[in-house]
Structure 1
Amino acid sequence: MSLSTSLADAKNLLSDLVARYRHRVDYLAIRLEEAEGTDILLRGNKVETLSEGISIGGQVRACYKGGWGFASFNRLSSLTEQVEAAIAAARLVGDEETTLASVEPIQASCHLPLSGTDPRQIPLIQKKALCSHYAEILRSVDDRITTTSVRYGDSAQRVILATSDGTLIEQSWVDLEMRFAATARNGETVQTGRETTGSRKAYEDLEQLDTQVQSAAQRAVEALALPPVKGNTYTVVIDPILAGLFVHEAFGHLSEADMIYENPDLMEVMTLGRRFGSPELQIFDGAAPEGHRGSYYYDDEGVPATTTQLIKDGVLVGRLHSRETAGKLGEAPTGNARCLNYHYPPLVRMTNTWIERGTTPVADLFHGIKEGVYARNWLGGMTNGEMFTFAAGEAWMIRDGKIAEPVRDVNLSGNVFTTLADIEAIGDDFYWDESGGCGKGGQNGLAVGCGGPSLRIRNVVVGGEALDEE
């Protein structure tokens, strides 16, 4: 049964099942999903993956006395049994109280609009040719390029969600992503350049990337001859891409209320009203701003998308919620419950996370720095609680307030809370990075947007060991 051919039937089926079983639990949600996608991976001049697929499936979530039951399935004929299985599981584990923030029931049908060509209209052979074209650019930059990879992925998802609160939503969107990497080798020295881009708007967004792809390979080659950075604590200027990565990885995950609720120490640190940075610092997350990879109309619990201010004038004022975390902490739901697909239950996840632009002209960020580091773009990174380490894609020394010689192997490390307090100036530029694929709880590659201005940060530990991509 295809959702597209029998949408009305599917909606009626879900509404009937919810009506029949709602009295047995405190909350019941049934989600059906149809997804269509392409996956291509070229490593060197070898095709490792070339596939198109369609999947149809669904999930049932039931809550009873605070206990959750979950069932996922890919045979619609087994839907009734799956509902009963999820209810049985919830009734088995529930022994407290179900606390879900209340929301208005919503009946809606919405589709995220495309501004150009739908990738599903493009033949697989044409997508493969695009990948081969970019792979050839990577290889042709220099004969010291030893390995290259080009990844292409697109997916179109259509979802129907029915809940025992009376919500019935149909929602659909298309997502595209490409990743490029080139590794150059000279004797023992190995350097990698990467570029990633994504879109929810048009296939055309992936067609004009020659310059970007070439620069990834050129950076790898040029870095072979660069001196490694001398490890030290520096004042650092980072570009908007690294600022977006920092706010997402280092701060955003700590704002997800399920992390806070389950960790008393973090709850203490993330106390609303606590100062984390200068009065100029503003941090937001939200799916309401249109046109980004983390944008949507309703989350996977049927809660309308919002924009949530997390830090206002340097002070913590908000966090990201599912209905359950909002209910347990007595706060308003923010529309941040998201799942990758029907195999997984929704978790509290970021959407588009950004630091608001500041007032300092970018050139002025370098003034007065006797010896520092200017870092742009990213190669990889990792976070562990409050601690983070990011590898910069390219970097230069700053000497006497001016950008000086380029250096390689620049890794920036620190404690997120100390680093927020150490932001000395916020640039008046801003860039949205749509390359993000976020991982949490085994659900990797969820589309997100990150944004920010250039930042000047004091006391950053800079070391010279290379990091792999997360």
Structure 2
Amino acid sequence: RVEEAESTDLSFQGPDLESLNQRQERGGDVRALVAGAWGFTSFNRLDDVDEMARAAIAQARLVGGGPVKLAPVPAVADRVPRALVVDPAELSLDDKVERVRAMNAIVLAYGKPITTSTSYYADRRARIWLANSEGTGLYQERADIQAGIAALAAGEGRVQRRSFSTGSSTDASLPGLTEEAVLDACRQCDGLTQAAKPKAGEYTVVIDPKLAGVFAHEAVGHLSEADHIHENPRMREIMTIGAELGVPELEIYDTGLVPGSRGALRYDEEGVLAGRADLIRGGRLVGRLHSRETAGALGETPTGNARAISYRFPPIVRMRSTYIGPGSATREEVFKGIKRGLYCVESQGGQTNMEMFTFSAGVAFLIEDGEPGELLRDVTLTGNTFKTLKDIEAIEDVTTPSEAGGGCGKGGQAPLPVGFGAPHLRIREVRIGGD
């Protein structure tokens, strides 16, 4: 695998341009599978490829006698050029700096209680060649562009933060990065300095598509990555194909085929077509995310989920774009009948530990008689993933994609571009932290 790439990243801290970097990279890697064991080397000089191939083979022989068996896939020969709407290479460095400076200035001009801001932009364009001993030969072009801002406010003896980010694999103009989106983050940050915490307890909760998409990624997607499953007997027992994991209307899938998504790709780093992989359908587990190695270990089919952030790393099982499919309820029906509950919007971070999760909502609103009202701060949602999936009461009839900045981290490889999306979900008996 050989890769050439150019990248730009810049950031503002308050009014100051804090960092500005442009890089060019060229390198490659060799993976060798010998007697069921892997060897891996990476290099920066193409003249070293023969030596690195011999070194990878020697590593695998030293490990010796491993259990690895690759699931078979057809050899492919293909070229996949970028299908860009706006190429980041068409924008000057000054254009990129001034775009972010203008968004940053909106935050700084908002006034009290906002005290400072951070903002950033990053893009990367890559050309990747892949060949293997089974006859596959691929050339792919990929791009990733992202930007974001954060507002920090101080008031009532506490500090609050609200952020907004957006990204794309095809459009460096980032049409989602608008003045209104930045102002909305500022207004919410302002409001949070005066907002109350919710009373701790169990609530009927509506989560918006951004938070629901993060939930699908973190709580379901990672559990579906087959390298976790085949190495963990307990997870193999829980994540049994056919197991009932959620309500009958629930559908969750992962795909590389959504144009413009940050998780879009035609082939993964093993040359496997990155098509749609259904995880939950009809509320039951119907599939997992696989590399050729994990598919071979579990006797299943590769799904095109072997990914690496660059040639410096071997591919591991990773998500692409993970979605909850649409249900049958209108937006109004999702909220209808909730006497007292919470509407949780966006994610401010979270963590998962096996099937347990904790997420912090970006903001939340108290629902009374089906209507969101009072703004609330510092709202955390905790629970068991599988109980929560069975406690879903309504799924909106529209799935909304979300292309945020940042990325996914796993196995020392971060940030990996991914996408996600979901409808609004109504869930009963969600444990909420608070006063």
TM-score class, shorter-chain normalisation, is: over 0.9
| Structure 1 position 289, deviation (Å) | 3.2
User: Are 1:429 and 2:398 an aligned pair?
Assistant: yes
Determine if contact 1:139/1:145 at 8 Å carries over to the other structure: yes
Paired residues of 2:146 and 2:174 also in contact (CA < 8 A): no
Q: Tell me whether 1:360 sits opposite 2:351 in the alignment.
A: no
Give the aligned residue type for 1:338: R
C-alpha separation in 2, matches of 1:201 and 1:96: 41
Equivalent position of 1:4 in the other structure: none
Query: What amino acid maps onto 2:151 in structure 1?
Result: A
Task: List per-residue Cα deviations over 1:327-350 (Å, max 9, x = no partner).
Answer: 110001111100000111001011
Distance 2:146 2:178 in 1: 12
Q: How many Å apart are 1:299 and its aligned residue?
A: 0.4
From 189, 192, 199, the counterpart of 1:220 = 189
Q: How does 1:161-200 map to 2 (within 5 A)?
A: 161-200=130-169
Q: What are the residue-to-residue correspondences of 1:284-363 with 2, within 5 Å?
A: 284-363=253-332
Contact 2:321 / 2:420 at 8 angstroms: preserved in 1?
A: yes
Residue 207 of structure 1 deviates from its aligned partner by: 7.5
CA contact (8 A) 2:14 2:117 kept: yes
1:197-226 CA distances to partner (integer Å, 9 max, x unpaired)? 001121222585111112112211111111
Q: What is the deviation of 1:456? A: 0.3
Q: Is residue 64–residue 98 contact of structure 1 (8 Å, CA) maintained in 2?
A: no
The separation in 1 between residues aligned to 2:349 and 2:295, in whole angstroms, is 33
In 2, distance between residues paired with 1:209 and 1:389?
Answer: 30
Task: Show the 5 A alignment for 1:229-240.
Answer: 229-240=198-209
How do residues 40-55 of structure 1 correspond to structure 2 at under 5 angstroms?
40-55=10-25
Deviation of 1:94 after TM superposition, in Å, equals 2.2
Give secondary structure in 2 for the equivalent of 1:205: coil
Tell me how far apart the structure 1 counterparts of residues 112 and 60 of structure 2 sit (CA, whole Å).
Answer: 60
Higher deviation after alignment, 406-415 or 156-165: 406-415
Note if contact 1:257-1:321 (Cα within 8 Å) is conserved in structure 2.
yes
Match status 1:456 vs 2:408: no
Q: CA separation in 1, counterparts of 2:144 and 2:266?
A: 15
Tell me the equivalent position of 1:376.
345
Of all paired residues, the percent bearing the same amino acid is 47
Partner of 1:413: 382
Separation in structure 2 between the aligned mates of residue 39 and residue 59 of structure 1, nearest angstrom: 25
Q: Is the 8 A contact 1:289 1:307 kept in 2?
A: no
Deviation at 1:464, TM superposition (A): 3.2
Amino acid at match of 2:65: D
Judge conservation of contact 2:262–2:417 (CA < 8 Å) in 1.
yes
Structure 1, unaligned runs of 5 or more: 1-30, 466-470
Query: Which TM-score applies when normalising by structure 1?
Result: 0.90
Indicate the residue corresponding to 2:408 in structure 1.
Answer: 438
The correspondence for 1:241, drawn from 191, 210, 219, is 210
Unaligned stretches of 5+ residues in structure 2: none
- Provide the secondary structure at the position in 1 that maps to 2:310: coil
* 1:36 and 2:10 correspond: no
| Contact 1:39–1:154 under 8 Å retained in 2 | yes
The residue number in structure 1 matching 2:54 is 84
Please give the per-residue CA displacement for 1:350-401, whole angstroms capped at 9, x wherever unaligned: 1111010111111111222222101111222222221211111121111222
Aligned-partner residue type, residue 462 of structure 1 = I
Q: Report the aligned-residue RMSD.
A: 1.3
Moved more, 347-356 or 180-189: 180-189
SS at match of 1:89: helix
Q: CA deviation at 1:291?
A: 2.8
- Work out whether 1:111 is the aligned partner of 2:81: yes
| Residue 122 (structure 1) aligned with residue 91 (structure 2) | yes
Contact 1:380 1:391 in 2 (8 A): yes
Q: In structure 2, do the counterparts of structure 1 residues 410 and 98 end up closer, same or farther at CA, with 3 Å as the change threshold? A: closer
More displaced, 257-266 or 209-218? 209-218
Helix, strand or coil: the match of 1:390? strand
Which residue among 134, 150, 153 is the counterpart of 2:119? 150
Contact 1:112–1:296 (CA<8 Å) still a contact in 2?
no
8 Å CA contact 1:130–1:207 kept in 2: the answer is no
CA contact (8 A) 2:171 2:260 kept: no
Give the counterpart letter for 1:146 in structure 2: T
Question: What is the Cα deviation at residue 112 of structure 1?
Answer: 3.0
